[in-house]
Structure 1
Amino acid sequence: MGTSHMGVSRIEEYYTESHFDYKLLWALEDSHGLHAGYHDGRDRSHAEAVENMNRELADRAGIGPDDRVLDCGCGVGGSSVWLATERGATVTGVDIVPLQLREARTLAAEAGVADRATFTRGDFTDLPVADDSVDVIWGIEAICHAEDKAEFVAEAARVLRPDGRLIVADGFRAVDSMTPSERESMNVWLDGWAVPNLATLDGFHTALTDAGFETVESVDETGQVLPSSRRLYWASRLLRPFGRVASAVGLRNETQEDNRRAARYQHETLTDGLWQYGIVSAKR
């Protein structure tokens, strides 16, 4: 994850305290990823849709066995391990959450790819990586945690080799202005998930071109992630009574309840057209 005005500790706290919720509601034992699924009509389960997202991004970036990939905000390592297993790539996952890095290393060892999927603690706005040393920059639903997305873009440009590729899937703000009610709903979602702000697709595109990237393509894929968004929405609504009782008796803390509420508002604001899910690709 990247730093923000919320600070590294806030992002780490969010993912650490919400880990059980993700295991319960996101089927981590099967999906091995915290990100949305790419629903193409052929997926038969949530885990298959999550894997589809990995496949979709890998295809768009043309990732193969000769590539060194940097997975920025790697989470529990599902995408990194998938790339090492299915594409034969050499992957370094970077994240700031120790719990997730431990999970990622365990997953890589169990999959037999610990030699090709390694993980280190670091901030993707200040990468512990040499200049011109990476073939592909990969980021799924992590770059949103950077307050200034241009800092991530600058680091990506620094560490990518000439002709290197970038692939990012994330949420992007879809409107220029909001009513007070719309802004409040967005804040419940973003604050609950430790996200300082969302860039627009146009703004992110401009940041990439200003940093020297070429062949920048931005595609609105909101329709493909709606089932994942609905999954979170209904989980939030169904778990609301339990959450209130559990909080009252000290079984759930404020961070966990904020996460549950955010799951509702991410869907309502998405279907209201306040944000969109985009996939952005570019070449150095």
Structure 2
Amino acid sequence: MFALISSLFATIAWRARLGFQAPADDSTLLWRELWRDHFHHGYYDTHATPSLADHRLSQTRTIDEALAFAGITDDESTWPRTVIDVGCGVGGSARYIAKKLGAKCEGITVDPNQVKIANDLALAQGLADKATFHVADAMDQPFADGQFDLVWVMESGEHMPDRKKFMSELVRVVAPGGTIIIASWCHRDLSPDEKSLRPDELHILNRACNAYEIPAWCSMADYINLAQSFSLQDIKTADWSDNIAPFWPVILRSSFTFDGLTSLFKSGWKTIKLILGLSVLKEGYDKKLIKFAIMTCRKPE
């Protein structure tokens, strides 16, 4: 793999010397090529050995597993009527939930290009009346207090620079009795005798921050403390790292197919940096430093 990366950079450098101008960075192009509608990890049975063909089904399974973890089942009485997908990417989760549960879904992201793609896909899939997407800041959402039965946060909380303010917005827009689901990259919880992570662990996390513009890492224990500070109830967490682990070899292989490399080259330098960052994230997962964790909780009635 690393020989292939070196060859890719040699090609880009050679074209640059000839005066070739790379296009503006647009990681959405690459993520759409690799991950299609869902900009999040896939969920597998532990120790699975999936093929490239499996990974898109695994991504919708992540949604199903998260809903079930929060008690949203085949029983229609558990289904939310209104949903906000916070950090929606191109809206895959919102459209899936709208179709599966018949909910009225909104989605927000700071990327106008993603919003256009999300709304175009909703129209093409006959879901324009059920799924609508907007450019908005997750820490200053353009919604009324208590507007949503379900607040959905799938792999976007790690990008928030002020998690207390972020959580306060989630609590504000969820209805009394409503549910919040947060699935996020986290670092491992500290043991009782630890005051901080080890220097080698901090080095890995800092490299990931640089690649993915993550402001700072936190643990699931930190999320629990935040939820408790807002008096949220029925707090439940799980470490899904072993279920997510089989996704890593698949996504790394798909990144270096012909189509993946073509999209990578078109997307520009920033996106190349993101792809190189995948190896850092995988290193963190392999060392049990980086976790894929989920938390659900409920706002008091």
Superposition TM-score tier, normalisation by shorter sequence: 0.7 to 0.9
Matched with 2:289 is 274
* Change over 3 Å in CA distance of 1:103–1:94 after alignment to 2: same
For the Cα contact (< 8 Å) 1:105–1:114, is it kept in 2? yes
Whether contact under 8 Å (1:140, 1:168) holds in the other structure is: yes
Where does the alignment leave 5 or more consecutive residues of structure 2 unmatched? 1-23, 191-195
The share of aligned pairs that are identical, in percent, is: 24
Answering whether residue 265 of structure 2 is matched by residue 254 of structure 1, we say no
Say whether the 8 Å CA contact 2:94–2:107 is kept in structure 1: yes
Q: Does 1:22 align with 2:16?
A: no
Q: Could you tell me how far 1:165 is from its partner in structure 2? A: 0.4
- Give 3-state SS (helix, strand or coil) of 1:224's partner: helix
Provide the C-alpha distance between the structure 2 equivalents of 1:257 and 1:123, rounded to a whole number of angstroms. Answer: 26
Distance 1:273 1:210 in 2: 28
Distance 1:251 1:107 in 2: 22
| Residue 77 (str. 1) matches residue 91 (str. 2) | yes
- Partner secondary structure for residue 36 of structure 1: coil
Q: Could you say if the C-alpha distance between residues 274 and 42 of structure 1 is closer, same or farther in structure 2, counting changes exceeding 3 Å? A: closer
Task: Determine which of 116, 134, 143 is the counterpart of 2:157.
Answer: 143
Q: State the shift of 1:175 in Å.
A: 5.0
TM-score with structure 2 setting the length: 0.79
Q: Once the two structures are superposed, what CA deviation does each residue of 1:208-241 show, in whole Å capped at 9, x if it has no partner?
A: 11112011111000011112223344556x58xx
Alignment match of 1:106 (pick from 120, 130, 136): 120
Q: Does the 8 Å CA contact 2:151/2:170 hold for their aligned counterparts?
A: yes
Matched AA of 2:40: H
TM-aligned CA distance change 1:129 to 1:38, over 3 Å: same
The alpha-carbon deviation at position 94 of structure 1 amounts to: 0.9
SS of alignment partner, residue 219 of structure 1? strand
- Distance between the aligned counterparts of 1:252 and 1:72, measured in 2? 24
Once residues 80 and 198 of structure 2 are traced to their aligned partners in structure 1, the CA distance between those partners, rounded to angstroms, is 49
Specify the SS of the correspondent of 2:246. helix
Q: Deviations over 1:47-87 (max 9, x none)?
A: 10001011112223327555201100010010000011111
CA separation of 1:53/1:90 partners in 2, compared to 1, >3 Å: closer, same or farther? same
Query: Which of 88, 91, 99 matches 2:102?
Result: 88
**Which structure has the bigger radius of gyration?**
2
Q: Any unmatched runs of 5+ in structure 1?
A: 1-14
Count of paired positions? 259
Aligned in 2, Cα 1:140/1:97: closer, same or farther, shift over 3 Å? same
**Which sits farther off after the overlay, 209-218 or 180-189?**
180-189
Work out whether residues 29 and 267 of structure 2, in 8 Å CA contact, stay in contact via their aligned partners in 1: no
Q: Tell me how far apart the structure 2 counterparts of residues 21 and 155 of structure 1 sit (CA, whole Å).
A: 30
1:188 is matched by which residue type in structure 2? R
Paired with 1:263 and 1:66, the residues of 2 have a C-alpha distance of 34
Alignment-derived partner of residue 200 in structure 1? 219
For the residue of structure 1 that corresponds to 2:249, the secondary structure is helix
What do residues 86-136 of structure 1 show as CA deviations (whole Å, max 9, x unaligned)? 111111101110111111111111111110101111111111111122111
